[in-house]
Structure formats: structure tokens, C-alpha cells
Structure 1
Amino acid sequence: MLKEALLQMFSFLPQVRSPTYRVPFKEKLKWTGVILILYFVLTQIPLFGLSATSVDQFAQLRAVMAGSFGSIVTLGIGPIVTASIILQLLVGGKVLDLDLSQPEDKAFFQGTQKLLAMIFTLFEGGVLILTGSLQASSPGLEWLMILQVAIGGILIIFLDEVVSKWGFGSGVGLFIAAGVSAQIIIGAFNPLATSVSPGVPSGAIPQFIYLLTTSQPDFSILIPVFSLIVVFLVVVYAQSMRVEIPLSFGGVKGARGKYPLKFIYASNMPVILTSALLLNVQLFAALFQKLGFPILGTISNGQAVSGIAYYLTTPTGISNIFTNPLGVLFYGLVFIGSCILFAWLWVELSNIGPKDVAKQLHGMGMQIPGFRSSRTQFERILKKYIPAITVMGGAAVGLLALGADLTGALGGGTGVLLTVGIVYQLYEEIAKEQLMDVHPMLRNFLGE
């Protein structure tokens, strides 16, 4: 009864209309491009009333959260991902008994996620401003700033919904890739000088060339660029790793193929969810300190200086291994462990577990050579692979993100890892859409 009442309430929430037809490739491309431009426009709209002395408490997670500090989209995708974390834990722990393969349960999940994201937009914006992470330039402007942050956060929620229904991939991934790509381009090629070093370009490559022509070259300036290249190559290699299960089509003699199970089976979602979890630890640490109960640690000048919040601050730079080895070890264990947990939850909730994949392949008339064609047999074989690669892939992507951050790569190591994965998935989706536009009969075969 409660579920039906909530579903009825969700119908009153503003929502983006779902397409009633298969959206053509060019239309998807158009909507993806329009939303991307709107996102960049929003990042350039400053918060009215923000003090110039404000410090970005979440600078190390900024690339992952796809927010622009000091703009109305300071929160980025934080509220959306936080809502997703809570729902995944509730559904995974069977507190909410939902079968996401059923349309009604899926609609309930999506409606609950949107409502929670809106609530967290107000909550996180309020905490940032009332705890002083976003300082008002004069008393009395705090509530106006909360309103601006809330509007920006809600706009991001709906832009994400537009991309998910009318474009390629998801808005969450698109905004992360856009933000990190902008950071990489600016960090590597920006020819403009800063007030700190007048006359010296701020971009790594122009700065190195400038120093090369005026004095002794400083090769350390290029370390973030080389780190970026190394991280990129390692992530591309990891994305290409897969286990291939041989298949044959029961209705066509001699027709054979392979079903690929990617090593990073849960994609990069575990890293996004884990980063959002760490962001909320910092957020609640600031809130509890403001209330006089610093149980999660102490925040000073926008940085955690003690407690759990300090040990769960992302370490950047290889020097941290030598200056704070226990801190890096603790952070690494928590980060990788959380990635494994969220990888398992994501596989279960995304209908890509052994049971769901077995149902899909059996329904397509496939079978594994040497085994009788049955859904149970498919599930038994897939259970040997999917749980193992889910755990190993979750651990690997967490380790890659940790190592990438320690290299100090441009765009943030975790940001680069996510961007490579997101762009790779977008490429695959775009290639699939183009193929189906050229060969419409494939849509029937693939169930589109």
C-alpha cells in the first residue's frame, strides 16, 4: 500500500518525458551535445554572495563529482550518486525488496532515487554553506546561496535524466568526462599566466617551453603529463582484458560466437560510488564539528587535519607513500574494499548477474558447445566467472584509481581512470547505434 502511494506521489515530481520511439543516432548526438554545452554554461555561473576567501574542501574529489567550485553547480553529481549509494545498500541488504527487472519496481527505484537526490541537494548545499565551506561575503546571504546551490543541483538532476533518456550513456558519466577533459587541456596547454607567477604560462607544456628558452629547464613540470600518459595506457589495457565464453546458435548449424565478460565487469561505477562515499564522510565531519561533536575528525581551513576524515582524504603525490605510509595503507584498504562492495551491488542491481545473463542468452537460443542447452546450465557456468571477475575487477579498478591518484596525473588520477572508461563505453554505444542504423534488422536480433 505504501509503495503504491509513493508511486502516485512520484508521478507529481517533474520529469523528463521518455521517448515513445527509438531515438535515431543523430537525435541522440544532438541532445548529448546540447546538454554538454548547457553543463559548461552552468559551470560558469558564479554563486552570488560567495566570499573570495572560501576554500574548496572537496578539491581532491572535484573531478569525480563533476562540480565546479564557486558556481551554482558546486555540488555536481554528488546528490545523485549519494542517493544511489543509499538505495543500493537498502536493496542489496533486502531492506527494500525490489526486483528491478519488473517495470513497477524499476519505476519505484527511479522515483525514490530522484526524490532522494533532490533532498540531498538541499541538505548538502545547506551543510556546505552553514559550516563555512562556502562562505558568504556578508551576513544574511547564506539562504540565498543555499537556494542557488539547490537550483543548480536540481538542474544537474534533470540534465542527467535528459541524457539517460534521449542521449548517449548517462549524464553522470558525461559530466565527469567533460570536467576531467577540461582540466587536462587547461593543465597541459593553458598559455595564460597566473597572478602568482606573472609572465609565466600556467599550462605544464607552455611553462616548460618558456623555462627552456629563458633559463635552465625544469623537467619536473612535465611529471603530471607523463603520469597522465602512463595512467591512460594502463587503463586502456585493463579495459581490453576479458574472459570469452564460446557460444553456438542452436537454430543455425555451425554458427558460433563468443560472449565477452570484461575484467572490469562493473565498469567504473564502484569508483564513482566510493568517491561519493568519501565526500560524504568529509561533509558530515564538517557538520558534526559545527554542532560541537567532531566524532569524524577536525576540519581546518577546508582540510581534514585529524580523525577518520583525515585518514579518508585522498592522497595525491607519490611522496605520500614515504611521508605517511600508514595513512596511505588505511585509505587504500578502505577504498579498495568499498570498490569491491559497490561492484557486487552494482552487478546485482543492474541485472548483469549470472541469473539474468543466463536468462538473456538462453532466450536468444544460444548454447555453450559441449553442454546441453538449458538456462540452469548457463547459470551454473556463469557463476564460475561473473562473481570472481566482479570481485577482482572491483579490486583492480580501486587499485588503479589509488595508484593513479598517487602519480599526481593531470585531471586527477581517479578522474583520468573514470574518463577513459566513460569514453570507451560511449564509443561502444555510439558504434552499436551506427551499426543498427545501417543494418535495421540487427535491432530485432538484439531486442532493441
Structure 2
Amino acid sequence: MIEKLAELYRYFPTIPSPKYALSLKEKILWSVAILVVYFLMMHTVVIGVKHTNTQMDLLSIIVASRAGTLLTLGIGPIIIASLLLQLLIGGGVVNFKLDSPEKRKIFAEAQVVVAVILALIQAYLYAYGAIGPTATGPYVSEAFYGNPITMHLVALQIVLGAIFVIYLDQISTKYGLTSGISLFIAAGVSYAVVSGALYILFNEDVGIISQFLKGVGIEALQTALVQIIPLITTAIAIYVITWIQSMKVSIPLTIMGQDRKIELPFFYLTTIPVIFASIFLLMLYQLGLSLLQIPGEDLLAQIARFIGAILYVLGPLPANHYNIPSYLNTVFSGTVPVLGIPEWLHLIIHIIVLGITSMIFGVLWAETMGQDGKSLAKQLRQYPQVQVQGYRRDPRILEKKIVEYVDPLIKLSSLVIGLLAGIGDALAVLGTGTGILLTISIYERMLPQIREAIKIYAPQLAGLLGEKV
């Protein structure tokens, strides 16, 4: 199946690799140009859709999207395509091993094909819901209201935008500082943090500074001061995540007769498990919302709404994290549809489920991509000078020792990263807990290149930061 999908890729245009090793300056210029295009797409409303100022929710931050624009789907099709293929392979439905560069290339090509198919489906689903076949939906612009071609026109633009993002990702991977997926997520989260901070400070109704400038009463000032909570929780989240990310797990080995240690980062699989877990739960959550809307009092309708309520509880809390008084009111006074349980319990359930789901996806990803203990031990067995400290060289002992360290690390780190993301979301962290996790991980991978760029192009700033020029 994977090979057949990859065969279709030959009909797609491809991005050639650079003919020479790009300099750091060239990579920076390419990345900046790609980001400029990304933000232009984010603010370009598709023809036929009414312009609305929507705040970035969890899904839009994770998939670097913005509804109603050329970035309506963002990197969603790419991530969901990877998620689907990983589940098929990890679940044994498709027999395919990613154990060689050639196999990984085939997988990447199949992923692009599936992403384009998903983009087509998602675009029409969005256009059907927002525009409708008769173009009388809630988001149709006045000039196109009632025009039967509007739905198809909107879907076409969204598909083209999604395909363009797929190729921007490939260009960034080959010519930029990092992959387009990482670049877009980091840019989207950073944008959400900055816009959220500006909202909290300057919003006319609840902004801290706006309230002080108005000279309003003590009650309004108290409400405004509550608004500072996201700024505090965001700072704490960045500190805690950075600290945990610096942790290492050491595996004691003997290499060429000398005692050495292989150090693995605590977030061994980076943020991949929580990306898949978040999107998976959001998909269930959106399905739950759809089931909750089913009318009627017959048994099937009631069962559908009950299932919808359960799926709803698995997802994040639907509240405005920028308006803290409103958010706190929802948490402590709201109840879950049908089930009737309080929303604060919904919040706790979501955090736990996100952690467990992240752990499951972490294990699946490690086994599928050859990053589990057995796969790592298999790689180390190729070097005869590597053995476990205090033991004679024996491949079985080496594998047992590596598995003892790596497999629990995969489960624990994936669980922790899921819990951190859920807690961050619950504490109204700007850019969401998941988004901050992703962005810190991305920036950390780019840090060596950023430092090098500062040394070359801003030596005075490098000196202030304590870097040796």
C-alpha cells in the first residue's frame, strides 16, 4: 500500500536539492522568505468568505492554520497523513518497515500523496460547512451570497493553499534552517503569544493597561489584574519546560575499553507524541460536538449524544483563555452537555487522557521509526568495541541493558510531555501548553545556528549574551 501511494508521487512536481552546501546566511534568508509567505497566507482571506477576526485556538496553533484564509488547513494534512500511516503501520494493518533510508524516502513520498488527498477532503468539508452548496452559509461574503459556484471556489483556494504549504515545507527542509513544519509551528505559536499578550494588556474591555488608563473603579481593576494570570503562567511554563528539557538519561557502556556514557535527552522523542495525541483527541472532540447536535428523542439519537458527550470530555475545554474571568467562570460553574459533570472535572480528565494518549503514540512512534530499545541495541551491536560496563561482550546483555533504559524512558517522557501540555492548557498559557512545548523544542534544535548567526552578524549582541566572538 505504501509503495503504491509512493508511485503516485512521481506525477507530482518535486523540489530539487541545493547543488552546493548553503551558507548560514543563505539558510536564514530562505527561512525569512518562507516566513513572509506564511504570514501573507495567514492574512489572505479566500475569495467568497466573509472576513472575521478569530482567535487562534489549540488546533489552529498546532497545525499552524487560520480559518477562512489560504492557511485554513495549515500543516494539518501533513500531520494527519503521517498520523494515519503511522497507525496503519504500528497497528500491523500495513506491513512496512522504516529500517532504511530508501524505505523512509518511500514513506515520505506516500505521506505527501495522502496529505494532498486529505487536503482535498478537508477543504470540501470546510467549504460545505461554512459556505454550503447554495452559498447561504454563515461565512459567505455578500458579493458571493447565493452563487452556486462559491463553495467550489472556496474549496479550490483552500486546497491550493494546503498544497503550497506542503511544498513550502519541502523548500524549508532543503534550503532553510529547519523543516517547514517546525518553522510554521514556531511562528504560529510566537504569533499567538504576542497577540495574546497584547489582548491582555490593551483590550478595551478587559485589558490591564486599558483599565488603568480609563481610571475605572476598584472592581474593574481587580478584574483587569486577574487578566495577568496567563502572562505569569506562560513565564512559569517556559522555565519548567526548559528545565525538564535539559535533563539527560545516561546509559553506562564500555567503548574501546574505556567507560563511557551515552546520554539521551529526557524528551527522547521530542514533541512528536503530544502532537499526534493532541490532534487525535481534537478529532474525537470535534466528532463529539457533531454528535451532540443530533436532534430527536429516540433511542439512537440519545445514544449518539451520549457518545458525543464522552468524546467531548476527552477533548480540551472550549473556553476563551484570553478572557480569564470568563474562563474561570466556565471552569468552576459550567457543566458538560448530557453527562452533567462539572467542567473542572472535564479539565482533569482531558489532562490525564492527553498524557496516556501521548504515551501510547510515543511507544507506537518509537517502534515504527526504529527508536525503541531493541532498535537502538541493534545499531550498537554493529560496533564490536561497544559493551555494557562490568559485563563481557554479549549482544543479549547489551540489548537487555539498552531496553531497560530506553523503553521506560519512552513511556515516561511521552506521558510527562502529554501531562505538561494538558496542564499548560488548563493554566491558560499563551500559545497553549502544547504550543509552548513545541516551540521550545524547535528553538532548542535551532539554537546552535541562531548563536552562530548572532556571532557573525551581530557580534556586539553576542558579547552582551556572553558568547565568545
Same fold per superposition (TM over 0.5) = yes
Which residue of structure 1 lines up, in the alignment, with residue 272 of structure 2? Answer: 269
Shift in alpha-carbon separation, 1:17–1:337, aligned structure 2, 3 A: same
Shift in alpha-carbon separation, 1:294–1:100, aligned structure 2, 3 A: farther
Shift in alpha-carbon separation, 1:9–1:350, aligned structure 2, 3 A: same
Which residue of structure 2 lines up, in the alignment, with residue 84 of structure 1? Answer: 82
Which residue of structure 1 lines up, in the alignment, with residue 351 of structure 2? Answer: 332
Shift in alpha-carbon separation, 1:233–1:4, aligned structure 2, 3 A: closer
In 1, distance between residues paired with 2:445 and 2:237? 18
Highest RCO, 1 vs 2 (Cα 8 Å, sep ≥ 6): 1
In 2, distance between residues paired with 1:101 and 1:86? 19
Which residue of structure 2 lines up, in the alignment, with residue 393 of structure 1? Answer: 413
Give 3-state SS (helix, strand or coil) of 2:231's partner.
helix
Give 3-state SS (helix, strand or coil) of 1:244's partner.
strand
Indicate conservation of the 8 Å contact 2:272/2:362, yes or no.
yes
Matched, 1:43 2:42: yes
The Cα of 1:24 is off from its aligned counterpart by 4.4
In 2, distance between residues paired with 1:263 and 1:296? 43
In 2, distance between residues paired with 1:294 and 1:25? 59
Structure 1 range deviating more: 148-157 or 343-352: 343-352
Give 3-state SS (helix, strand or coil) of 1:11's partner.
helix
In 1, distance between residues paired with 2:98 and 2:432? 34
Matched, 1:12 2:21: no
The Cα of 1:235 is off from its aligned counterpart by 0.9
TM (normalized to structure 2)? Answer: 0.78
Indicate conservation of the 8 Å contact 1:50/1:135, yes or no.
yes
Query: Number of matched residues?
Result: 418
Shift in alpha-carbon separation, 1:233–1:433, aligned structure 2, 3 A: same
Shift in alpha-carbon separation, 1:122–1:291, aligned structure 2, 3 A: farther
In 1, distance between residues paired with 2:314 and 2:431? 20
Give 3-state SS (helix, strand or coil) of 1:258's partner.
strand
The Cα of 1:382 is off from its aligned counterpart by 1.1
Report % sequence identity: 29
The Cα of 1:314 is off from its aligned counterpart by 1.1
Structure 1 range deviating more: 126-135 or 380-389: 126-135
Indicate conservation of the 8 Å contact 1:79/1:121, yes or no.
yes
1:164-179 → structure 2 map (5 Å cutoff): 164-179=173-188
Matched, 1:116 2:122: no
Equivalent of 2:235, from 219, 229, 234?
Answer: 229
The Cα of 1:384 is off from its aligned counterpart by 0.3
AA matched with 1:258: K
1:86-235 → structure 2 map (5 Å cutoff): 86-132=84-130, 135-137=139-141, 138-139=145-146, 140=148, 141-189=150-198, 197=205, 206-207=209-210, 210=213, 216=218, 217=221, 218-235=224-241
In 2, distance between residues paired with 1:130 and 1:291? 18
Gaps of 5+ in 1: 299-303, 435-448
Which residue of structure 1 lines up, in the alignment, with residue 399 of structure 2? Answer: 379
Shift in alpha-carbon separation, 1:372–1:37, aligned structure 2, 3 A: farther
In 1, distance between residues paired with 2:118 and 2:262? 40
TM (normalized to structure 1)? Answer: 0.81
Q: Give CA deviations for 1:180-237 in whole Å, capped at 9, x if unaligned.
A: 111212222469966x64xx8x5x6x447646x7765432121110010111111112
Give 3-state SS (helix, strand or coil) of 2:116's partner.
helix
In 1, distance between residues paired with 2:377 and 2:448? 22
Indicate conservation of the 8 Å contact 1:248/1:368, yes or no.
yes
Which residue of structure 1 lines up, in the alignment, with residue 440 of structure 2? Answer: 420
Give 3-state SS (helix, strand or coil) of 2:252's partner.
strand
Which residue of structure 2 lines up, in the alignment, with residue 356 of structure 1? Answer: 375
Which residue of structure 2 lines up, in the alignment, with residue 446 of structure 1? Answer: none
Indicate conservation of the 8 Å contact 1:339/1:397, yes or no.
yes
Shift in alpha-carbon separation, 1:17–1:209, aligned structure 2, 3 A: farther
AA matched with 1:126: Y
AA matched with 2:114: L
AA matched with 1:93: G
RMSD of aligned Cα (Å): 3.5
The Cα of 1:305 is off from its aligned counterpart by 12
Q: Give CA deviations for 1:21-43 in whole Å, capped at 9, x if unaligned.
A: 55544443333332222211211
Give 3-state SS (helix, strand or coil) of 2:227's partner.
helix
In 2, distance between residues paired with 1:258 and 1:393? 20
In 2, distance between residues paired with 1:401 and 1:100? 29
Equivalent of 1:243, from 234, 241, 249?
Answer: 249
In 1, distance between residues paired with 2:388 and 2:19? 36
Structure 1 range deviating more: 312-321 or 159-168: 312-321
